[in-house]
Structure 1
Amino acid sequence: MTNKLNALKPTGRYLAAPVAALALAVSGQAMAEVTLYGRAHVSVDYLDDGAKYSKTNVSSNSSRLGFKGTHEISPELTAFFQIEQQINFTTGSKDGDSANFSTRDTFVGLQNSRLGAIQVGRFDSPFKTARGPANLFGDQVGDMRNLTRVGDARFDERYDNTFQYSSPTYKGLGLKLAYSVYEGQAAQEKDGSSNAASLSLTYADGPLTAALAYEKVGEDNSRGKRNGVRLASSYNVTNDLKLVGFYQTIDYKSGDSALRKQLSSDTYGLGGEYRLGKNTALKAMWMTRDADDSDYGADMWVVGVEHKLDKAVRVYANYAFMDNDKQSKLTPWAQARSAKPGATATGTEAAGLSVGLRYDF
């Protein structure tokens, strides 16, 4: 009986071809609208805080790996998703540290061609993305967030547990509304006072790109109650010359009056980018943080040159300088980088020289 049953079993050579064909077909169908993408961004930096720290570092700068995809449900309705993780190219994980593989913008949603899109997950707030038009040195030494994202008053956040509506673009205008129901787990929510709301209005048409944003965070968030307004713009004066401007005001409402004066501030600046050739650009920006307590202000100057080897790969060199007021100890390298030593003294002049490589795939 056993021999008869064995005789009825298909052998490996009969199964191999149809199984392989089926696997390829299923794989092709599953991956047809899924894209693997990422960014490898590293730099070698010489950082000097104007006091006790003066060293060369190697930094991974917001490097990432992600998957994104879409699925058409009907001609007007599409489902979409994204799973994105930060990757650290310069160090290994130590003692369970997850900083080398941590969640960036990760969400799922539905988009209607006439009504707009709704998404849910963890991702950059509209207020955060509104800096885009003026962000000449993003994820590099000299990033504007070294002045706009200070202490507990910062707003450049990627909130957990967020719903967002994005409108269709009409004559260059677009609207985003986001609401984060709480930070962390539901057990930590306190009567809605840990929620955050963010919105932005963007415009992009012809030579002008601009964004206006507002964000408000409740009292029981981990960094306290605060609200802010942000305006960023860029204007192409010619094909070779672009000018940018930025303004942000933050009102910090938690803590005693001294802390509120330290963290409440106006931050603004001007910059420009000039194309020296087809693939080479010279960039420069000046920014200042004017805190309510004038001893906590700072100014930052940045100049850099960037050369695109092709569409995917670019190299650059930047020099950034931070001039701190009496009680301030900001640096021009603290944001979006793995090499971010803190300043060792207040009121110093910190500077960084960086040479970097960015490969988008």
Structure 2
Amino acid sequence: MMKKLIAIVVSAAAVMPALAAAEVNIYGRVHVSTDFLDDGDDYSETNISSNSSRLGFKGDHQINPDLKAFFQIEQQINFTTGSGDGNSTDFATRDTFVGLGGNFGAVQLGRFDSPFKVARGPANLFGDQVGDMRNLTRVGNARFDERYDNTVQYTTPNFGGFNAVLAYSVHEGQWVEQDQDSDGISVALNYAGGPLEASLAYEAVEQDTGRGERDGIRAAAAYKLTDAFKLVGFYQTVDYDGFDNTSEALRDQLSSDTWGLGGEYKITSDTALKAMWMTRDSDAPGYDADMWVVGVEHKLDKAVRIYANYAVLDNDDNLALAPWIQARSATPAGALGEKASGLSLGLRYDF
């Protein structure tokens, strides 16, 4: 393990002088919405939410014709309260990394979305909105869709539309704990060509991480049946082992299969209708859920879009999920065994 850490430190140090000459670009996203949220029980209120809004800095530097250095620093910003993500003194809470790229592909080190997380992309019709699929796929301690600390990742070149991504997270926290299995691995095979975009991913995390041992498989695809209509599909299976003292009942509750189908129809080049249905099937009885969401999105121009979504999440007796929990600042809890619904009017401005 020490040899791995030394190699990572040496690699990062070698890249830093090149970054000093990089051209830095500032970018970001302002994504806010007004939402009427109803948990099906006692809660029924209007909220204003900031939805994964962010500010970032990125750049690259061509070292020679065959090699370049690149970096990114990204921070989540809450546009409804003016604070950052979590501790207001934090910086670089989102995808932050440094790397080298060339004909061999790209290698990067830092904290960023795992290949497993990115693999939902082809089917991700309602990302960072009410109705986001992560409200079913990212449940409890078995959840994935993470950006891991202390990660090194290799991305292959593109081969006829295919590429592969392999990421290895050395540990959580500032340093490796002696005699602990606290690493994780995430891999994905991606394809984009013609009418088809698809991803297949696998991720496994060892027992001594913060939420225990778990592994999962994910597949997502989008296929353009016509220039105007796109069909999407998604499947995920997660097996949760937890810690040595985790009960069998909890393991069954968090181990699950989740799948769904959806579609997007472009009325015009700037306006689209979207819909998706998803279901979560737990290994334990009484912990299943279904979610459906419909929406319309209109691009005012290349940078600004507005949308309206309506989502419903129907819980089994022992589950209290809601279609608005993930990637948003307005996150009231769901109610046990109830049908939660949300109506959202949103604005997204990318710069």
Q: Which residue of 1 aligns with 2:128?
A: 139
1:192 shift after superposition: 4.8
Alignment of 1:154 with 2:143, yes or no, is: yes
Helix, strand or coil at the partner of 2:116: helix
Alignment of 1:209 with 2:203, yes or no, is: no
Which of 74, 78, 89 matches 2:68?
Answer: 78
Alignment of 1:183 with 2:183, yes or no, is: no
Contact 2:295 2:309 in 1 (8 A): yes
Matched residues in 1 for 2:136 and 2:91: separation?
26
Matched residues in 2 for 1:199 and 1:294: separation?
31
Q: Which residue of 2 aligns with 1:69?
A: 59
Q: Which residue of 2 aligns with 1:233?
A: 221
Contact 1:181 1:192 in 2 (8 A): no
Contact 2:296 2:308 in 1 (8 A): yes
Helix, strand or coil at the partner of 2:34: strand
Rg larger in structure: 1
Contact 2:73 2:92 in 1 (8 A): no
Distance 1:101 1:350, change over 3 A: farther
Which of 219, 230, 243 matches 1:242?
Answer: 230
Aligned residues between the structures: 329
Query: Where in structure 2 are there 5+ consecutive unaligned residues?
Result: 1-18
1:97 shift after superposition: 3.5
Query: Where in structure 1 are there 5+ consecutive unaligned residues?
Result: 1-28
Helix, strand or coil at the partner of 1:295: coil
Matched residues in 2 for 1:30 and 1:197: separation?
31
1:52 shift after superposition: 1.1
Q: Which residue of 2 aligns with 1:46?
A: 36
Matched residues in 2 for 1:287 and 1:202: separation?
22
Amino acid at match of 1:121: G
1:294 shift after superposition: 2.5
Q: Which residue of 2 aligns with 1:357?
A: 347
Contact 2:198 2:221 in 1 (8 A): yes
Distance 1:317 1:99, change over 3 A: farther
Amino acid at match of 1:77: L
Helix, strand or coil at the partner of 1:65: strand
| TM-score, normalised by the number of residues in structure 2 | 0.91
1:250 shift after superposition: 0.2
Which of 281, 304, 319 matches 2:310?
Answer: 319
Amino acid at match of 2:201: A
Contact 1:91 1:100 in 2 (8 A): no
Q: Which residue of 1 aligns with 2:106?
A: 117
Matched residues in 2 for 1:99 and 1:351: separation?
34
Contact 1:231 1:248 in 2 (8 A): yes
Q: Which residue of 2 aligns with 1:199?
A: 187
Matched residues in 1 for 2:223 and 2:290: separation?
23
Q: Which residue of 2 aligns with 1:262?
A: 253
1:102 shift after superposition: 5.5
Which of 233, 239, 252 matches 1:251?
Answer: 239
1:93 shift after superposition: 4.3
Amino acid at match of 2:196: L
Matched residues in 1 for 2:82 and 2:58: separation?
26
Provide the alpha-carbon RMSD of the alignment.
1.7
Matched residues in 1 for 2:133 and 2:108: separation?
28
What do residues 187-221 of structure 1 show as CA deviations (whole Å, max 9, x unaligned)? 5x243511010000000000000000000000011
Matched residues in 1 for 2:110 and 2:269: separation?
39
Matched residues in 2 for 1:216 and 1:339: separation?
30
Q: Which residue of 2 aligns with 1:332?
A: 323
Contact 1:93 1:99 in 2 (8 A): no
| TM-score, normalised by the number of residues in structure 1 | 0.88
Q: Which residue of 2 aligns with 1:14?
A: none
Matched residues in 2 for 1:99 and 1:131: separation?
31
Matched residues in 2 for 1:54 and 1:200: separation?
40
